Amino acid sequence: MTAILFPGQGSQYIGMSEDFYNNFLNSKLVFEEVEDSTSIDVKKIIFEDPLNQLNLTNYTQLCIFTASYSIFRVIETEFDLKNMNVNTMLGHSLGEYSALVSSYKITLSDCAKLLKLRGDLMHRAINPNESGMAALIGLDSISIQNIIDEVNLDVQIANDNSPIQVVISGMINNIDKSRDIFLKNGVKKFVKLNVSAAFHSNLMLEAQNIMRKYIDETIFSDSSVSIISNFSSKISNNSETIKDSLINQMANKVRWKESINELEINNEKNLIEIGPGKVLSGLVKRITSSFEITSIDQMKDLELFK
């Protein structure tokens, strides 16, 4: 059995999916529908980025989704996914939206509108440069949480990415204060991330509450593919459960390590990462050696299917 993974923010680069766009009509049609739904020229941002918008949260999320789904559509039409026994999809943070469209839980147009709103809300949630995130290398999430509790640090775990990589969120001054404490307590490397705000923390609660209304109004359909949600890290094919998890995703941590463990429990054997970069493949390999992993980022990667 096979599961498909979709990347999140941080995987973007100028020119992602351009070779698919130039060679496959289905890829081009994805771009056109996203642009019609949002009135954002994602093609110009992704392929040229003349105004340096690709790394701005209010554009990044929609652009990564567009690139990822445009690649998926090519794979779906050029190869027989049924023969690959694809029955589970998941994504990292915004990648969950890519999974929902690819599994036919929500429509492309609805997803594009939701991600435009999500990007805007997260971008405006707090003044720029007042909050942020940092990656901690060397300890697992339980150890990191113990340090936070024991020292009473005002930061939160945002991403539980692997047994040796945890991302924290918080106000910049609190993140800066925590650096030496973490390094003195077993963290090998402390890296502040180039993001505009403290994603997946309680600083996103107001944005999440606004997003709730729009997700509630979105129609979620049944399909044969199950979803592993970031919020619960549990596999489900129940539309209401999947919707509820998506509503609670923005202000809560991404349980990536637990999500991959859930794939193991459900006896998945093959993973396909679809979208820009190979970040998720690297994280999976740090979590377990149980899977055969294929990453599809550029057209030449399609040879891996042959």
Task: Write out the catalytic residue numbers.
Answer: 93, 200
CB 260 within 8 A of CB 287: yes
CB 198 within 8 A of CB 168: no
User: CB neighbours of 197 closer than 8 A, spacing ≥ 6?
Assistant: 57, 122, 123, 125, 126, 128, 131, 132, 203, 204
Q: Which long-range contacts does 125-130 make (Cβ < 8 Å, 24+ apart)? A: 125/197, 125/203, 125/204, 125/206, 125/207, 126/197, 126/198, 126/203, 128/196, 128/197, 129/172, 129/196, 130/171, 130/172
CB 35 within 8 A of CB 43: yes
Tokens read off for 49: 């980025």
Rounded CA separation 162/266 (Å) = 19
The helix (run of H) or strand (run of E) holding residue 95 is: helix 95-102
3 state SS of 210:
helix
